[in-house]
Chain A
Amino acid sequence: MGSGAEAVRIEGLSKVFDERVRALSNIDLVVREGEFLAVLGLSGSGKSTLLRCINRLIDPTGGRIWIDGEEITAAKGAQLRRMRQKIAMIFQQFNLVRRHSVILNVLTGTLGRTGIAGSLLLRFPQEERRRAVAFLERVGLGDHVEARADTLSGGQQQRVAIARALMQRPRLVLADEPVASLDPALRHSVMRHIEALNRDEGLTVLCSLHDIDLVKAYATRVVALRAGRLVWAGLPEELDMDVFHEIYGEDAEMASNASL
């Protein structure tokens, strides 16, 4: 579990937006291979910013990040793209290309390695198409291969996004509140697919969550952010009222009532 090599190493990470908003302050964090790390924190505490710094969708203002020993904060151009291929991301709003078919959305997971000319014409190798269909069947969407992405329900769209992530052949998965915009009843079905990435594929997962139940059910380790600082790290079973006070401050009662 937490004994493998370093998958992610973060040192002194800071992000200041527009020279005013301090979203992250001096974060140090090591994630080991095969971990399912949950990131907790109130809205605005910097969870999304942290995850987006790891694949450089956001450029940090300070600090360094290594992925599998290679520094992504120093990577540029082709090297950055190659490193991003190994890092899949799953978003709260799914972020599918709404007007494209489900399978085309899944195939975008291969953009980092397909030829540019073909991909601009929406063409992909047969081999990749077969893999895409296989992944779609695995997430239970074998009947929706050619459907337009925006005709699917939220839970189905998020499963398409998971298939897209698998298509990347990633080593690391960043999931930013993957079930926050889904019906509570659907949350476990999507979380189980993300858990499968971790358990069956052996992928390292960093997942921001705000539902304590989900953290306890799926995470192998937890860190918590508060106002851009890392305020707590531990195991899911160590989460108790004292810890809540540390993470959520005055809102602790509310957070625990909502989910314990």
Chain B
Amino acid sequence: MAGETPLAATRTPWERAVGRLKAIVIDTVLLALALAMAEFLALAFSGRRGPTGMLLGAEEILDLLHYGWIASLAFAGAMVWNLFEHFLGSSPGRALAMGPREAEEGLEWHETLRGWFVAVLIELTFFTGWLVTEVDLGSFLTKFSKASGIVRGLVHPSGAVLHQGLVLLVQTIFLAFMATAFAIPVAFCLSFLAARNLTRGSALSRAVYLVTRTGMNFTRAVEPLVWALIFISWVGIGPFAGVLALWVHSVAALTKLYSEQIESIDPGPVDAIKATGARTLQVLRYGVVPQVIPPFLSFTIYRWDINVRMSTIIGFVGGGGIGYILKPRVDLGEWGEVGTLVLLIAVTVWLMDLVSAKIRERIV
């Protein structure tokens, strides 16, 4: 064992203190989760009834939980666990923050307290989840007939909306196309700023990298549906709002993909071009661009494909395209017409999938 110093032993006291703190925080969170779920299950199974005499729903039980007590108890528990770690064995928090103790290595999960705790936590999560989402297998298995209208509609599509559907389908495809096309130049420029290997030069360029990356990650985290709602109130209901929503999302997504591609290029040609005395723009044009164009094209076509799918959903909230006429028909239960529209979308998505796969195959 002389040669293999355990990692923990090589840490500085400061790192160990931070690790311990992290362990306590993680343990507190995990214990609080376990306690909350235990109380939830206890409340659900104790058969308490609401004011109307009915069994309580998931929301009402959640309302009754004693979060303050749970939090303090969990904190106390985590402190005890981490203080008496030596006797209680390692805790999940410690394992995540500092790596498991050597003493635990080689033990099966059921031989450690940590293992049991995690096992119980998983069980609790499953049972609580079952109740919280009000899983109702009975309805699922016996009440299919209520939905049979939709299936019948899919099998017997109505011709009434075929013409309008086709027109809007064309709009959907163009909507996705415009969003993608507008996104390409913006994402192309941003991707160079978001590539780590090109932004190591100065403090300024590193700051630009960080700002671009963070901004794009945030933008991407916001769903296109939410962007659609924002742009609908901005430019009004219609396909242009949809274009803008998908554009914003595509810029963020493409910037990420493009910049990752730039980060994985061969640095050799970049060095060679730099060595000729070329300017930065020339180094990018000759050293970087030729290496990234084929993957960029492939990502972009894939994005268009994704945008076609997304634009049907965006139509639901008023962002134009075929989704726009689908929503009222679902609400009215016009299943034949719904069937026609769903089939149109399915065929288009399938075709786009096929075509984009073929094109991408050619490029790479």
Instruction: Mark contacts of B285-304 with chain A using CB atoms, 8 A cut-off: 1 yes-contact digit, 0 otherwise.
Output: 11100110100000000000
Q: Does B278 contact A (CB under 8 A)?
A: yes
Q: Does B264 contact A (CB under 8 A)?
A: no
Residues A116 and B279 in contact in the complex (CB < 8 Å), given A97-B287, A100-B290, A108-B286 = yes
Q: Does A93 contact B (CB under 8 A)?
A: yes
Rounded to whole angstroms, the CA-CA distance of A100 and B288 in the bound complex is 12
For residue A57, which residues in chain B have a CB less than 8 angstroms away from its CB?
A: 271, 274-275
Residues A95 and B272 in contact in the complex (CB < 8 Å), given A111-B282, A119-B285, A120-B282 = yes
Instruction: Mark contacts of B269-283 with chain A using CB atoms, 8 A cut-off: 1 yes-contact digit, 0 otherwise.
Output: 101111111110110
State whether A81 touches B272 (Cβ < 8 A).
Answer: no
Rounded to whole angstroms, the CA-CA distance of A161 and B273 in the bound complex is 11
CB within 8 Å of A: which B155-173 residues:
none
Q: Does A46 contact B (CB under 8 A)?
A: no
Rounded to whole angstroms, the CA-CA distance of A149 and B290 in the bound complex is 12
CB within 8 Å of A: which B231-287 residues:
268-269, 271-279, 281-282, 285-287
State whether A108 touches B268 (Cβ < 8 A).
Answer: no
State whether A81 touches B279 (Cβ < 8 A).
Answer: yes
Choose, from A5-13, A83-91, A192-200, the stretch at the interface: A83-91
For residue A93, which residues in chain B have a CB less than 8 angstroms away from its CB?
A: 268
Q: Does A156 contact B (CB under 8 A)?
A: no
Residues A81 and B290 in contact in the complex (CB < 8 Å), given A95-B268, A96-B269 = no
Listed A/B pairs (13) with beta-carbon separation below 8 Å: A81-B277, A82-B277, A84-B276, A87-B275, A89-B272, A91-B268, A91-B272, A96-B269, A110-B276, A111-B278, A111-B286, A164-B276, A168-B277
State whether B290 touches A88 (Cβ < 8 A).
Answer: no
State whether A81 touches B278 (Cβ < 8 A).
Answer: yes
Rounded to whole angstroms, the CA-CA distance of A126 and B281 in the bound complex is 22
State whether A84 touches B272 (Cβ < 8 A).
Answer: no
For residue A84, which residues in chain B have a CB less than 8 angstroms away from its CB?
A: 274-277
For residue B276, which residues in chain A have a CB less than 8 angstroms away from its CB?
A: 84-85, 88, 108-112, 164, 168
Of all A-B residue pairs in the complex, the 8 with the closest CB atoms, nearest first, are A112-B277, A85-B277, A111-B278, A95-B268, A84-B277, A95-B272, A89-B275, A81-B277
For residue A83, which residues in chain B have a CB less than 8 angstroms away from its CB?
A: 277
State whether A97 touches B290 (Cβ < 8 A).
Answer: yes
State whether B277 touches A97 (Cβ < 8 A).
Answer: no
Rounded to whole angstroms, the CA-CA distance of A2 and B333 in the bound complex is 94
Instruction: Mark contacts of A124-168 with chain B using CB atoms, 8 A cut-off: 1 yes-contact digit, 0 otherwise.
Output: 000000000000000000000000000000000000010010001
Which residues does B use to contact A, with CB under 8 Å? 268-269, 271-279, 281-282, 285-287, 290-291, 293
Chain A residue nearest to B279 (CB atoms) is: A116
State whether B269 touches A95 (Cβ < 8 A).
Answer: yes
For residue B277, which residues in chain A have a CB less than 8 angstroms away from its CB?
A: 81-85, 111-113, 168
Which of A85, A89, A111, A120 has most B Cβ within 10 Å? Answer: A111
Cβ distance B289 to chain A, nearest Cβ, rounded Å:
9
Rounded to whole angstroms, the CA-CA distance of A184 and B291 in the bound complex is 30
Rounded to whole angstroms, the CA-CA distance of A137 and B273 in the bound complex is 22
Rounded to whole angstroms, the CA-CA distance of A176 and B277 in the bound complex is 18
Cβ distance A165 to chain B, nearest Cβ, rounded Å:
9
For residue B275, which residues in chain A have a CB less than 8 angstroms away from its CB?
A: 55, 57, 84, 87-89
For residue A120, which residues in chain B have a CB less than 8 angstroms away from its CB?
A: 281-282, 285
Chain B residue nearest to A80 (CB atoms) is: B277
State whether B274 touches A108 (Cβ < 8 A).
Answer: no
Cβ distance B279 to chain A, nearest Cβ, rounded Å:
6
Which of B274, B277, B282 has most A Cβ within 10 Å? Answer: B277
Chain A residue nearest to B290 (CB atoms) is: A99
Cβ distance A31 to chain B, nearest Cβ, rounded Å:
18
Cβ distance B325 to chain A, nearest Cβ, rounded Å:
46
Q: Does A98 contact B (CB under 8 A)?
A: yes
For residue B291, which residues in chain A have a CB less than 8 angstroms away from its CB?
A: 97-99
Rounded to whole angstroms, the CA-CA distance of A112 and B276 in the bound complex is 6
Rounded to whole angstroms, the CA-CA distance of A110 and B282 in the bound complex is 11
Cβ distance B171 to chain A, nearest Cβ, rounded Å:
36
State whether A112 touches B278 (Cβ < 8 A).
Answer: yes
For residue B286, which residues in chain A have a CB less than 8 angstroms away from its CB?
A: 97, 100, 108, 111
Cβ distance A73 to chain B, nearest Cβ, rounded Å:
16
Rounded to whole angstroms, the CA-CA distance of A100 and B275 in the bound complex is 18
Rounded to whole angstroms, the CA-CA distance of A96 and B291 in the bound complex is 11
